[in-house]
Amino acid sequence: MNSKNITPYNDKGEKHGYWEYYYYDGQLHSKGNYVNGKPHGYLEVYYRNGQLNFKGYYVDGKRHGYWERYYPNGKLNYKGNYLNDKRHGYWEYYYSNGKLWCKGNYVNGKQHGYWVWYYENSQLEEKIYYI
């Protein structure tokens, strides 16, 4: 993988500023900001086929805020929020055909409250309450 530095390293030789990474064939792999060698701010990562793999926000190298991940076919895999690198709040997960698989809440990385799962034909599979 090749990288393209848009702004210089910091005094310690760490990535600092906007960076883009490319596959050897020239296809964009990822783009985002770094502060003192850690991802910070909005980041996008792509599959080799050019489809978006995931996008989200980092704070000091940790996932923080809204994230989405996609299947190589471009359909949404999941969406939800992170708080200090842990899943937190409402999340939805999808089958590769785009239909909803399950939904529920996390608190500090652990499932919490009602979670609902669906079969691939969208029929209800189960409901579970997590404490």
Give CA–CA dist 84/60, Å, rounded. 9
pLDDT number for residue 11 = 85
Arch. (CATH architecture) of 1-74: Single Sheet (2.20)
Is this model's pTM higher than 0.85 or not? yes
* Cα of 81 vs its chain's centroid, Å: 9
Give CA–CA dist 45/99, Å, rounded. 23
| Spans in the chain with pLDDT lower than 70 | 1-7
pLDDT number for residue 86 = 98
Residue ranges covered by each domain of the chain: 1-74, 88-131
Q: 93, 63, 61, 95: which is closest to 81 by C-alpha?
A: 63
pLDDT number for residue 13 = 87
pLDDT number for residue 60 = 95
Residue-wise pLDDT for 100-115, tens only, equals 999 999 999 999 999 9
pLDDT number for residue 6 = 55
